């Protein structure tokens, strides 16, 4: 039973996102780790006197989640409902909004609010304390190509679509009692956020990032999409994913935000650590060094990404590495270069580039000395948008 804190002068919220239920890590099944996280979340809600849970998208890892992922989600819904703590979910870019939102009206009667419909962004979940109402608005992931018409836009990317949704939120707020505190859940890439390798690129469909000013007028924005916990501004925060889903997250501290929203709308927040199923290690060096040097001993129980720098590829490197590091999951080769060696690989040259940048680089390669002009860039953007839109629509078709 959660602890009800009377007269403390703030509403306590728990902000989490990017569960990616059903996702694996380099073929390692993470269902047990995800179950441990959800057990932890329920315990935090109970022990910390949480009064509302905010889940900012990417509940599932794919539009058609596996049965084990659906069972995990079903279980946590029942447990949160039994605690009597209102919970607000939005759909992310990995979720199927229609599938996640099935029976939302019925489920909402139990205090579990699934916000997946772009047409309902201005219909808040209403909370209250002794200081007045708190309006919680859920903005599901808004793919421009699929949602701009819903907001009366003939064109425009992420900034324009999300801006139009926020205009509706602000308009609704003007109809609420004076002093109403406003909280928004959104799944987006806000300018200034730090990315990792495990997030799906949002570039197709328009410029990926949106300025933080889009969220002006609200007291707290619970953001999802980026997998690292980070603070864009005191009232704009990413919780990050509760589990690492790529080796680029090896240095992340995986947490949730425990947010206290005061009567005047000011925010105080602290990070609540999540269980770590197994530490990550990114090791680099020659094979004999990795196998013998004492400084690597602390990583012997970790999930390991090993980058070998031997000038020539050693024999059976994975087999040898797993004798010392039994949980080695990824093996890369970047040989030390000597004069006359071939330069960096194609994979290294395109690492970190968006799909559009890779396509523009191809144009430069086949047409040396000539940059793609604006018309050609527009064609490329349109092509990526079309492919993305067709993929999203295909995912929504009944099977």
**Closest-CA residue to 183 (of 330, 356, 333, 52):** 52
Name beta bridge partners: 190: 210
CA distances from 379 to 204, 322, 356, 358, 385 (A): 12, 47, 11, 14, 10
What's the mean per-residue pLDDT of the chain?
Answer: 89
Q: CA–CA separation, 168 vs 121, rounded Å? A: 7
CB 257 within 8 A of CB 237: yes
Q: Please determine, for residue 2, whether its predicted confidence score (pLDDT) is greater than 50.
A: no
Phi-psi sector, 214: left (phi>0), alpha (psi -120 to 50), beta: alpha
Q: CA–CA separation, 175 vs 179, rounded Å? A: 11
Which residues, including other chains, have CB under 8 Å from residue 353's CB and lie 6 or more apart? 361
- Count of Cβ atoms closer than 10 Å to residue 277 Cβ: 18
pLDDT of residue 202: 60
Tell me the percentage of the chain whose pLDDT exceeds 70: 88
Q: Is residue 219 classed as helix, strand or coil in its secondary structure? A: coil
Q: CA–CA separation, 223 vs 188, rounded Å? A: 7
Quick one: DSSP state of residue 21? Answer: B
pLDDT of residue 389: 72
Where b means 16+ CB within 10 Å and e means fewer, 321-356 reads: bbeebebbbeeeeeeeeeeeeeeeeeeeeeeeeebb
Give the CA angle between residues 269, 275, 277 to the nearest 5°.
145
CB 198 within 8 A of CB 246: yes
The bridge status of strand 28-29 relative to strand 24-25 is antiparallel
**Pick from 23-27, 166-170, 249-253, 346-350: least confident:** 346-350
- For residue 342, the number of C-alpha atoms closer than 13 Å in the C-beta half-sphere is 8
pLDDT of residue 337: 67
Q: What is the pTM of this model?
A: 0.81
Confidence of residue 339 (pLDDT cuts 50, 70, 90): low
- Please give the average per-residue pLDDT across 2-7, as a whole number: 44
pLDDT of residue 192: 86
The residue among 359 and 189 whose pLDDT is bigger is 189
257-314 pLDDT, tens digit per residue, is: 999 999 999 999 999 999 999 999 999 999 999 999 999 999 999 999 999 999 988 9
pLDDT of residue 220: 98
pLDDT of residue 151: 93
The residue among 1 and 84 whose pLDDT is bigger is 84
Q: Please determine, for residue 136, whether its predicted confidence score (pLDDT) is greater than 70.
A: yes
pLDDT of residue 398: 57
pLDDT of residue 371: 77
Q: CA–CA separation, 185 vs 56, rounded Å? A: 6
Confidence of residue 353 (pLDDT cuts 50, 70, 90): confident
- Please give the average per-residue pLDDT across 339-356, as a whole number: 65
Q: Is residue 302 classed as helix, strand or coil in its secondary structure? A: coil
pLDDT of residue 6: 45
Confidence of residue 1 (pLDDT cuts 50, 70, 90): very low
- Please give the average per-residue pLDDT across 235-243, as a whole number: 97
Q: Could you give the strand order of the β-sheet that contains 181-187, starting from the edge strand earlier in sequence?
A: 125-129, 132-139, 181-187, 220-224, 236-238, 230-233
65-120 pLDDT, tens digit per residue, is: 999 999 999 999 999 999 999 999 999 999 999 999 999 999 999 999 999 999 99
Residue that the structure tokens 């960096």 belong to = 344
Question: In the structure encoding, which two tokens stand for residue 328, read together?
Answer: 């080695």
Question: In the structure encoding, which two tokens stand for residue 205, read together?
Answer: 């469909």
The bridge status of strand 10-16 relative to strand 52-56 is parallel
The residue among 39 and 391 whose pLDDT is bigger is 39
- Count of Cβ atoms closer than 10 Å to residue 188 Cβ: 27
Confidence of residue 35 (pLDDT cuts 50, 70, 90): very high
CA distances from 122 to 165, 171, 177, 223, 296 (A): 8, 8, 15, 17, 53
Residue that the structure tokens 């239920």 belong to = 21
The bridge status of strand 189-190 relative to strand 280-285 is unpaired
pLDDT of residue 204: 41
The residue among 218 and 130 whose pLDDT is bigger is 218
CB 173 within 8 A of CB 135: yes
């Amino acid at each position: 039973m959660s602890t009800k804190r009377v007269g403390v002068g703030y509403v306590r919220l728990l902000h989490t996102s990017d569960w990616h239920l059903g996702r694996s890590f380099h073929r390692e099944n993470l269902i047990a780790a995800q179950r441990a996280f959800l057990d932890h979340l329920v315990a935090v809600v109970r022990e910390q006197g949480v009064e509302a849970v905010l889940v900012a998208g990417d509940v599932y890892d794919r539009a058609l989640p596996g049965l084990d992922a659906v069972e995990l989600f079903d279980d946590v819904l029942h447990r949160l409902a039994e605690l009597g703590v209102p919970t607000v979910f939005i759909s992310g870019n990995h979720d199927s909004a229609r599938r996640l939102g099935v029976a939302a009206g019925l489920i909402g009667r139990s205090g579990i609010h699934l916000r997946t419909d772009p047409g309902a962004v201005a219909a808040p979940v209403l909370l209250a304390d002794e200081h007045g109402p708190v309006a919680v608005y859920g903005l599901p992931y808004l793919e421009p190509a699929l949602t701009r018409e819903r907001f009366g836009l003939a064109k425009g990317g992420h900034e324009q679509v999300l801006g139009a949704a926020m205009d509706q939120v602000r308009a609704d707020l003007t109809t609420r009692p004076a002093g109403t505190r406003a909280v928004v859940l959104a799944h987006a890439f806000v300018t200034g956020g730090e990315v990792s390798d495990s997030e799906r690129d949002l570039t197709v469909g328009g410029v990926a990032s949106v300025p933080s000013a889009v969220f002006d007028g609200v007291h707290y924005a619970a953001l999802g999409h980026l997998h690292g916990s980070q603070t864009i501004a005191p009232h704009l925060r990413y919780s990050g994913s509760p589990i690492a889903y790529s080796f680029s997250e090896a240095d992340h501290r995986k947490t949730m935000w425990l947010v206290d929203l005061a009567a005047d709308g000011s925010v105080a927040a602290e990070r609540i650590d999540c269980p770590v199923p197994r530490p990550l290690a990114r090791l680099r060096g020659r094979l004999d060094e990795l196998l013998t040097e004492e400084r690597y001993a602390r990583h012997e129980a970790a999930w390991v990404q090993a980058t070998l720098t031997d000038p020539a590829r050693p024999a059976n490197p994975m087999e040898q590495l797993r004798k010392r590091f039994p949980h080695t999951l990824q093996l890369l080769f970047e040989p030390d270069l000597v004069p006359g060696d071939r330069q960096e690989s194609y994979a290294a040259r395109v690492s970190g580039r968006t799909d559009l940048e890779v396509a523009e680089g191809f144009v430069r390669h086949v047409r040396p000395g000539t940059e793609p002009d604006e018309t050609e860039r527009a064609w490329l953007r349109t092509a990526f948008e079309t492919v993305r839109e067709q993929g999203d629509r295909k995912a929504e078709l009944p099977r």
